Structure 1
């Protein structure tokens, strides 16, 4: 995608967000045994099981390390990256196509900054905690719907930018992963689709709309 930069307009982005959380289902009634007596509910998970589930989640440091390991990965001669090719093969791509319309092949010529972030989440086995999308606006809204949105640049947070100075979700044009807060006015982040590659950038906090906080292990 020679000549394309991360400050492109939303209209050229082909995909949009992780859907709204599923509605809770009513608790099923216990089944009756042959004696006609209700069977007891399944036992609650033990503390050790909950601890194991917690340990399977990555830390922010692990997410940053994986994202940084991709620095230098660039678009090929046809203007595509492995992140776009991966996304087009996912069930999530089918969901976002159903939501937004267009053709699957369109992701090969779309902004891929959010596909990079989604790839990181999938490689960590952490899509449920990081979300997955190809449209930055809807990915930000996913964090907002899930109560994981704020203004603090924590390491590993997903940072959403607007180049117009706007602060609404609809103003968002780019996304990355925070490495660190440099000072009160700048942050350092690893980003896809910047200079046609994955790179580490230092950005002004004035360009930030907000931060999504993946559900990392502490």
Structure 2
């Protein structure tokens, strides 16, 4: 990569973009370039078209997926912890009023990670639609699986002591260790928050893999 590209890395673009925007885009790369130029009194800083230029060199047209793989969606989800109400996510999806927004949150994180444009994840707002898509793609794993970070986790809350095999909720796996799966979920108590479950919990319906 050119020195222009490296200058944006070396001066904190990645951290800045995650902290301020929850992800990377051509628009916020341009904003970063303009802010840095202004703060230093320069006419130009780095390459204002940094993101679209560098994306050419990475499969799936996503630079940061090329560097970080599935961990990127986790980083983006973590940056949203504490969000209440979910308007950022359900309005992005296209809804005019509040809906149950767990799937909108997952889809938003996937879009920010380039996983929707690469075809690794479907944009969905209804959990059963997500389940069926992962199954149709051969990317589905049932409860008891040991998921890797970034895996999409689907839940089925037991009703009257029994499951109906229809997903009620969805989140993103942050990590899995010592028989526990740790998640980041939107619309958990109307917030983006962390939760944890035994890998054999009856509340887990299964998983959608985002790997190639």
User: Normalised by the size of structure 1, how large is the TM-score?
Assistant: 0.60
2:163 is aligned with 1:166: yes
Q: Indicate which of 78, 97, 104 corresponds to 1:115.
A: 104
Determine helix, strand or coil for the equivalent of 2:84: coil
Shift of 1:157: 0.5
> 2:93 matched to 1:87?
yes
Displacement after TM superposition at 1:204 (Å): 3.3
Deviation, structure 1 residue 203: 2.1
| Alignment partner, residue 210 of structure 1 | 206
Q: How large is the RMSD of aligned CA atoms in angstroms? A: 2.3
Which structure would you say has the larger RCO, counting Cα contacts within 8 Å and 6 or more residues apart? 1
| Alignment partners' CA distance in 2, 1:157 and 1:113 | 15
C-alpha distance after superposition, 1:6-31 (max 9, x if no partner): xxxxxxxxxxxxxxxxxxxxxxxxxx
Instruction: Find the counterpart in structure 2 of residue 149 from structure 1.
Output: 140
**Are the aligned partners of 1:130 and 1:215 in contact in 2 as well (CA < 8 Å)?**
no
Aligned 1:20-31 pairs, distance under 5 A: none
SS in 2 for 1:190: strand
**Which structure shows the higher helix fraction?**
2
- Equivalent position of 2:170 in the other structure: 175
56-65 or 122-131: bigger deviation: 56-65
Number of matched residues? 144
| Structure 1 residue ranges (4+ consecutive) displaced by more than 6 angstroms after TM superposition | none
1:18-60 per-position Cα deviation (integer Å, ceiling 9, x unaligned): xxxxxxxxxxxxxxxxxxxxxxxxxxxxxxxx97326837211
**Match for residue 52 of structure 1?**
58
3-state SS in 2 of match to 1:175: strand
2:71 alignment counterpart: 61
Is the contact made by 2:87 and 2:98 (CA closer than 8 Å) also made in structure 1? no
- Taking the aligned partners of 2:61 and 2:89, their CA distance within structure 1 comes to 27
Gaps of 5+ in 1: 1-49, 89-103
Query: Is this contact kept in 1: 2:62–2:113, CA < 8 A?
Result: no
Q: Name the larger-Rg structure.
A: 1
* Unpaired segments ≥5 residues, structure 2: 1-55
Instruction: Find the counterpart in structure 1 of residue 114 from structure 2.
Output: 125
Taking structure 2 as the reference length, what is the TM-score of the superposition?
Answer: 0.62
Partner of 1:71: 81
Once the two structures are superposed, residues 155-212 of structure 1 have per-residue CA deviations (whole angstroms, 9 ceiling, x without a partner) of 11000011115272x2x1110001111332x310000001111001112331111100
